[in-house]
A = this chain, B = another copy of it.
Amino acid sequence: MESIQAVTYPVHFQEKGYTALSNLVTTKNYSTIFILVDENTFEHCYPKFIPNFDTDKPIEVIEIESGEINKNLETCTGVWNAITELGGDRKSLLITLGGGVITDLGGFVASCFKRGIDFVNIPTTLLSMVDASVGGKTGVDLGVLKNQIGLFANPEMVIVDNAYLSTVEEREIKSGTAEIIKYGLTYDIKLFNEVKQNKYLKIKDLIFRSIEIKNEVVLQDPKEQSLRKILNFGHTLGHAIESFYLESEDKENLTHGEAIAIGMVCESYISSKLLGFPSEKVDEVKEVVLSIYNKTNLLQEDFSKIMDLLKHDKKNVNGQVNFVLLNNYEDFKIDCKVPEDLIVESMDFYNN
């Protein structure tokens, strides 16, 4: 499979990635290689990774606890202390091996350690492969507010190897599927149709095309002035719902994909009301979402808390929530203002 050239770095697929990584390490002559994992990726992915990694440099593994709840500054401090104690310097390399928590947090940790060391991302979940591989977003949560602290920083390279997907649960695969649906609805409806027809056999191609789309989008609009905002489809409300479940101790957390799948249903509904997005397509989006994800029961009593969280969305300016909505499939409109009661109505639509 061909590599994809992101702004300043390549995304390599399968075996090709490990050769490129070994070459990078030799060329840059790193002092120490740190590998950031969680307990799951250390158990399941590290044994797949390490035989492929050909280097004589010292390797140190740093393990953090898995889960969005640990994507915070305390965990960063722990990693920074570990790197420091293990003698990390400006010529160290950090390899992240894991899902979005590991790649986002690891990129942030690397970018701020001694004002920046190199890092390489190896996403091991479908979500992190299709979402975090390109774009240069790094960061951690502040309390329940997702990715509130972070910066744009590019890795030296990304390695996408779908062998890692055998290590994750079906629920995680589904979480990543939501992003593929998003690329489909906003940019290339073929992806949506393939997911609809449950063509998971083609997962390798779905991943490649998703990364290709995200890369095209990011190259055209790195700082999210216009086109890149399509990547937020379903995320504006979806993030608020995800944060709400994360902070509700009596409720089970949603995966990122589960939350934004709900967000896409709601935002499709809002699109139909504000922009005339065809209502049969709204129904189609809802149907596909419900064929993949368990129905979540959004409670009326929780709506106001979700609305509060919505107001803290990073994309907001002057207290105004900005949505990207659909005129039609592959046809979007950015910076849409949505009345509060229509947002509430859209959650009712999802529920019923």
Contacts and interface: CB of A to CB of B under 8 A. Distances in A.
A276 interface: no
A90 B149 contact: no
12 contacts: A31-B319, A84-B312, A89-B316, A90-B315, A90-B317, A111-B151, A112-B151, A114-B148, A114-B314, A115-B139, A115-B152, A116-B152
Interface string A295-320: 00000000000000000101111110
Interface stretch (A37-45, A73-81, A261-269, A327-335): A73-81
Contacts of A152: 115-116
A150 interface: yes
Given A31-B318, A90-B314, A115-B137, 10 more contacts: A73-B73, A77-B142, A80-B149, A87-B319, A89-B314, A89-B317, A112-B112, A112-B139, A112-B149, A115-B151
Interface in A10-31: 31
A142 B84 contact: yes
Contacts of A315: 90
Nearest to A145: B84
Contacts of A80: 142, 148-149
A113 interface: yes
Copies of this chain present: 2
Interface residues of A, number: 35
A91 interface: yes
A142 B312 CA distance: 29
A31 B142 CA distance: 21
Contacts of A67: none
Nearest to A76: B73
Contact of A148 (B87, B111, B113, B147): B113
